Chains A and B, each alone.
Chain A
């Protein structure tokens, strides 16, 4: 199931988990947050975001809860579970290794 994405393969999960590690957020806020933090460099498509959220929930790394937003509307808030936190650590370590390796290769060339 090839989905067009600007992200390096597999990094979307990392971004979501990292974003949720601070506080629970709903899908819209997750997308916005990534967009802001990355200074508009990363735009997560809805078509990638929601399937990813459902997949992470299925893996039990995040859990969902319906809560009112500041404006009073009900929205589905996702938060990190304990195993999600561990997964985040693993993914961070992976990312560190991968980015270092890529940097080395890129700078060598």
Chain B
């Protein structure tokens, strides 16, 4: 009660201040009148009585102030006063304010933006109930370096039965079954779309514990009984696709054409529902061809499992290890089971991983590197601000001293400084937050697939708290930097007067700050330099073909309503029509588009061959089914034998071309020409497996990322077989840009099949850019941050030197008067600037060598200690330092001793 009462009174004092003041005035006036009356009644003349009374009670104003002090609302009043004063005084020096607020906004903005990513991608739990119970089970083959591979169907079934640790174990697939590429054709109204799909079983939906927004999920029946030749025609749409493609109209129970067949829509997912950041638009029932489902060697299923309540990750891992130890005995086969000791390329083991780690994967390190980089930028920003504030505090010395002399307490002055800091960092913070949100949005728009979980990125409460913390921290820094300055006694300060001579510690502090700035900038610029070199190296890689003036698109003729030979004819028609377009020099089609395609890893029988593990077949990493003059149009050199020729089409003997890696790995120095392999006909639509004779060896082409060494590759000519797999990539050698070809391509494809969408029409340079998007994004961001750091360090150096020149005008004037030449002055000042910079460069270099190991795994073709990069960075920083020091030094050398000495 009492506390409430008091609060009410204080609130009254604050809110109704004019009223309270008026009351106080009246109360004191009453007292004064009483005193006058008393004086008069004791016999004084009225005028004298009044004067005596006033003398007696002293200044009314002072009493009022004391009474108000008693009411304890001064703090708030002072704050309002401070803020007003601050805004006035900041408005008077717009240059200073502008630099501070802009610097702060950049520092806070960069940090908030990156922290938004750190928080949204790495820290925030997944959007499933109890997300830490979700585990990802993957196959690993250390011998081939493959991690996070899918499991085979028998393995999945066995693990489901054996385990005791998991409440639910489910599987999904994005390829390898009826829907091969993780994308399907879908007709919305009369619009053909290509949408992202995933095939899931009922167990997976149970494990993830997601509920459909409308309709139902797939049943066990629908996703586990794999019979016939095609999966059951049912589908669930994502909320987003349902809204955008179908306008949100009632759809459950209706039929929609997917991959050439009518599918019943059984449900709609809630907004944002997804698996493994797949950006799923259509959910299809998991289905495997019965023969595929029996093979242990065919790894097609990705497995996600939910731990039982109370079971730890370690317990589940221990259980899994026990299974792997005697998996073979448990299931009664020695053939291709997981092993704890995988030594050969065909061996694999199983690895459990938290689902979140599996989703974020390798980008985690890149994001932390960025966070560290912006952390450095913030430190540089703080050092710069501290320097600026010190300089400003120096020039406002007299103001502070005067205020102290007029009775301002030290606490009161500190409060004023902190308020100044708070106003500026508040402005910087708000501006920074705006920059951050704009930046994150632009980033996602520019690189939609480079950062995982982007659909969930928002600036939410924890991010806001971090931004707030950054602003508060800098505000306090401001206050205390000014406070440190205020320590000199009033008397000294007044005596020193306008000269503002300063203690040595302040010189050291300011130079120390510049040294630190330069050191951090050096570390950042070296890091950025290494990544820029990495990207340069990646773009310079010879992928094995001539990428210039190539335009590509992809299309899919669904398996359900086409057969291999009608597909081949349809593709042939598309190719023929495109060849007749003016400006198109050559047109070919291929099943997998280099340099970034998924591997096939097909077991291929080879004549007179035994593999390391005693089998008569080799695993071929990539199958490339081609149409047209493939090698000529793509510019892939044939290093031995010959390429496909028109005459092959009519000949009976089937021919194949291998790449250098395959030739070396299988035939080890023997002549590959004339050797025979038997690719499974099912993989490209042929009815049976026939022997193919090798007629040529092609130069290696990078298939799965430009930075990865080429695998083994086998080329088969579809023109010879007259069949085609459902999805093909068309590539045109042309003088025209993709935009100019777009209309023609759309028309040609529509004429051949109106239900087939043209997908990803773009030039080959874009395909390459896309394949190295992550390192490029990292290099660009880091480069921007490094540039910012460099700029800030330059401003810092310049600021400190100019301030020093201003402070030492007199000394310089005297020296010039005593005969120092302009050149002497110039070199002296510049020497001081460069000394500070060089110290910073040395420290930064040591720091860079210490921490650059951490980014070694992100580099390509360049060592963390790359001497060229380091030399270049040192040269750049030195050049920047020379410019930053030259300006104040030049100004010092122009000082006219007459003017300077008269001023003093």
Q: Cβ of B5 and Cβ of A47 under 8 Å apart?
A: no
Q: Cβ of A60 and Cβ of B6 under 8 Å apart?
A: yes
Asked if B896 CB lies within 8 Å of chain A CBs, one says: no
Residues of A within 8 A of B9 (CB): 57-58, 60
Contact with B along A67-109 (1 / 0, CB 8 A): 0000001111000000100000000000000000000000000
Other-chain residue from B30, B66, B71 in contact with A28 (beta carbon distance below 8 A)? B30
Sample (22) of A-B pairs whose CB atoms are under 8 Å apart: A1-B69, A28-B30, A46-B28, A46-B56, A46-B57, A46-B63, A47-B58, A47-B63, A50-B27, A50-B31, A50-B63, A51-B69, A51-B70, A52-B70, A57-B9, A58-B6, A58-B9, A60-B2, A60-B5, A60-B9, A73-B30, A74-B30
Q: Cβ of A51 and Cβ of B66 under 8 Å apart?
A: yes
Q: Cβ of B63 and Cβ of A58 under 8 Å apart?
A: no
Contact with A along B55-69 (1 / 0, CB 8 A): 011100011001101
Which residues in chain A, 1-56, are within 8 Å of chain B measured between CB atoms? 1, 26-28, 46-47, 50-52, 54-55
Other-chain residue from A57, A58, A76 in contact with B30 (beta carbon distance below 8 A)? A76
Q: Cβ of A47 and Cβ of B66 under 8 Å apart?
A: yes
Residues of A within 8 A of B67 (CB): 50-51, 54
Other-chain residue from B2, B26, B33 in contact with A83 (beta carbon distance below 8 A)? B2
Chain A residue nearest to B68 in the complex (CB): A54
Asked if B665 CB lies within 8 Å of chain A CBs, one says: no
Asked if B72 CB lies within 8 Å of chain A CBs, one says: yes
Residues of A within 8 A of B56 (CB): 46
By the criterion of a CB under 8 Å from any partner CB, how many residues of chain B are at the interface?
25
Asked if B10 CB lies within 8 Å of chain A CBs, one says: yes
User: Inter-chain contact count A-B, CB under 8 Å?
Assistant: 61
* Least distance between B31 CB and chain A CB atoms (Å): 5
Q: Cβ of A47 and Cβ of B57 under 8 Å apart?
A: yes
Other-chain residue from B6, B28, B35 in contact with A50 (beta carbon distance below 8 A)? B28
Q: Cβ of B66 and Cβ of A58 under 8 Å apart?
A: no
Chain B residue nearest to A27 in the complex (CB): B31
Residues of A within 8 A of B63 (CB): 46-47, 50-51
* CA gap between A57 and B23 in the complex, in Å: 14
Q: Cβ of B23 and Cβ of A76 under 8 Å apart?
A: yes
Other-chain residue from B35, B62, B72 in contact with A58 (beta carbon distance below 8 A)? B72
* CA gap between A55 and B26 in the complex, in Å: 18
Interface residues of A (CB under 8 A from B): 1, 26-28, 46-47, 50-52, 54-55, 57-60, 66, 73-76, 83
Given contacts A46-B57, A76-B23, contact A58 B31 (CB under 8 A): no
* CA gap between A47 and B67 in the complex, in Å: 9
* Least distance between A65 CB and chain B CB atoms (Å): 11
* CA gap between A54 and B69 in the complex, in Å: 9
Q: Cβ of A59 and Cβ of B30 under 8 Å apart?
A: no
Chain B residue nearest to A83 in the complex (CB): B2
Asked if B295 CB lies within 8 Å of chain A CBs, one says: no
* CA gap between A27 and B26 in the complex, in Å: 12
Residues of A within 8 A of B180 (CB): none
* Least distance between A2 CB and chain B CB atoms (Å): 12
* CA gap between A59 and B72 in the complex, in Å: 11
Given A46-B58, A58-B71: 20 more A-B contacts, CB < 8 Å: A27-B30, A28-B31, A28-B34, A46-B63, A47-B63, A47-B66, A50-B27, A50-B28, A50-B67, A51-B63, A51-B69, A52-B70, A54-B70, A55-B70, A57-B9, A58-B10, A73-B33, A75-B30, A76-B26, A83-B2
Chain A residue nearest to B37 in the complex (CB): A71
Q: Cβ of A76 and Cβ of B70 under 8 Å apart?
A: no
* Least distance between A82 CB and chain B CB atoms (Å): 10
* Least distance between A78 CB and chain B CB atoms (Å): 10
Residues of A within 8 A of B30 (CB): 26-28, 73-76
Chain B residue nearest to A75 in the complex (CB): B30
Residues of A within 8 A of B5 (CB): 60
